């Protein structure tokens, strides 16, 4: 793979992080607050970072939330960032920058999978699923037959939209059961106090408390059901768990315990591991998407 010096952006709800990645090695990232409601301000901010580069770059790569049409370089939706809804991001950046630099953009969950494929725990795999657990819910990406599966309308991998408890709860999605925010709310409802001050990762370190363990085990069961459903649908070589909560020592054993409690799991018994790239997944994934897709 040809060495390139790429300016990468990871656009999140609170901050937009950016860094230079050269030959797969990233510099120390910088960040600025995300203009979540103002499309012009968001695109201007990205363009300003590009203009401030003192050394030549090979191009720009962006990791973006929502449905991303990589062919037309536009966003269809923007997740929680309203400023990204139906934006011709590629054209707008070229208009601001003069159209000289190659640009690539990709969905953020897909970037996580691409980072694992090229610089993580899936380097030897052609078929795997990334299953992320965040404050907002469950994200996902599918790397099948050696390629990211984006889907007809760029919506593949929306694992959090699975319905897992229809008879009891109607059409509530896996997002509503499995987000770390849900765990915080359940703890607050049981013990009182505002959910905003409950830190899910701290709860994972209190597994020796029976009431806390029961709460977490119940929450993890829905995550295991989501993993089971995607495994029986795609038969991947591996499932990689992403999101900061998945890096907690207790998390993976709890998921494996819940999977083993599903009678049919023994017939599939697919390896479930952690992602290697967590904090840098968007930045690295955008880089590898750029160098593998831009010609």
In a domain, 118, yes or no: no
Domain identity same for 161 and 242: yes
99 falls within a domain: yes
Question: Tens digits of per-residue pLDDT, 240-254?
Answer: 999 999 999 999 999
Q: Are 105 and 218 in contact (CB under 8 A)?
A: no
**CA distance readout (Å), 242 to 6, 100, 110, 131, 147:** 24, 35, 12, 6, 19
Strand spans (E) along the chain:
5-11, 15-22, 25-26, 30-33, 59-64, 68-69, 74-75, 103-107, 128-133, 138-144, 147-148, 238-242, 272-274
- CATH at residue 160: 3.30.420.40
Res 278: pLDDT: 87
Cβ burial, residue 235 (10 Å; 0-12/13-18/19+): exposed
Residue 96 lies in a domain: yes
- Assess if residue 234 is contained within a domain: yes
Are 192 and 223 found together in one domain?
Answer: yes
Q: Report yes or no: 223 and 182 within 8 Å, Cβ to Cβ.
A: no
pLDDT band, residue 4 (cuts 50/70/90): confident
For residues 104-117, give the mean pLDDT.
96
Domain carrying residue 49: 5-111+279-293
- Are residues 246 and 155 located together in one domain of the fold? yes
Is residue 117 assigned to a domain? no
* Same domain, yes or no: 27 and 134: no
Q: Same structural domain for residues 258 and 243?
A: yes
What is the mean pLDDT of the segment spanning 203-212? Answer: 93
d(CA 17, CA 175): 25
Q: Indicate whether 82 and 129 sit together in one domain.
A: no
- The reply to whether 198 and 289 lie within a common domain is no
Look-up of token digits 């950016």: 18
- Picking from 109, 190, 202, 204, the residue whose alpha carbon sits closest to that of residue 148 is 109
Instruction: Give the mean pLDDT of 151-160.
Output: 93
Do 166 and 73 lie in one domain? The reply is no
- 244 and 289 share one domain: no
Judged against a pLDDT cut of 70, whether residue 1 lies above it is answered with no
Are 56 and 149 contained in the same domain? no
Tell me the mean pLDDT in the region 5-22: 96
215 lies in a domain? yes
pLDDT score for 83 = 97
Residues 163 and 150 in one domain: yes
Residue 245 placed within a domain:
yes
The pTM is what? 0.92
* 64 inside domain: yes
pLDDT of residue 287: 97
Q: What is the pLDDT of residues 14-43, one digit of tens each?
A: 999 999 999 999 999 999 999 999 999 999
164 shares its domain with 97:
no
- The structural domain count of the chain equals 2
């Amino acid at each position: 793979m040809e060495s390139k010096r790429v300016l990468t952006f990871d656009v999140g709800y609170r901050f937009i992080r950016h860094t230079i990645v050269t030959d797969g090695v990233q510099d120390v990232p910088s960040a600025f607050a995300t203009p979540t409601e103002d499309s012009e301000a968001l695109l201007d901010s990205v363009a300003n970072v590009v203009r401030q580069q003192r050394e030549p770059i090979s191009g720009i790569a962006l990791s973006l939330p929502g449905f991303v049409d990589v062919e037309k370089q536009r966003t269809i939706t923007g997740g929680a960032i309203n400023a990204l809804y139906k934006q011709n991001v590629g054209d707008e950046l070229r208009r601001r920058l003069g159209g000289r630099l190659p640009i690539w953009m990709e969905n953020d969950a897909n970037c996580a999978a691409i980072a694992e494929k090229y610089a993580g725990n899936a380097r030897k795999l052609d078929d795997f699923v990334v299953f992320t657990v965040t404050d907002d819910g469950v994200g996902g990406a599918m790397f099948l037959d050696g390629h990211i599966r984006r889907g007809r309308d760029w919506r593949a991998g929306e694992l959090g939209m699975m319905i897992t408890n229809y008879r009891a709860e109607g059409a509530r999605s896996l997002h509503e059961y499995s987000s770390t925010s849900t765990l915080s709310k359940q703890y607050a409802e049981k013990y009182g106090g505002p959910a905003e001050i409950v830190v899910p990762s701290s709860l994972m370190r209190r597994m020796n408390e029976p009431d806390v363990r029961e709460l977490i085990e119940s929450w993890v069961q829905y995550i295991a059901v989501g993993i089971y459903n995607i495994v029986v649908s795609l038969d991947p070589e591996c499932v990689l768990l992403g999101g900061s909560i998945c890096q907690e020592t207790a998390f993976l054993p709890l998921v494996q315990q819940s999977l083993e409690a599903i009678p049919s799991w023994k017939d599939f018994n697919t390896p479930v591991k952690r992602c290697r790239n967590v904090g840098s997944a968007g930045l690295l994934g955008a880089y590898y998407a750029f160098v593998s897709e831009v010609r």
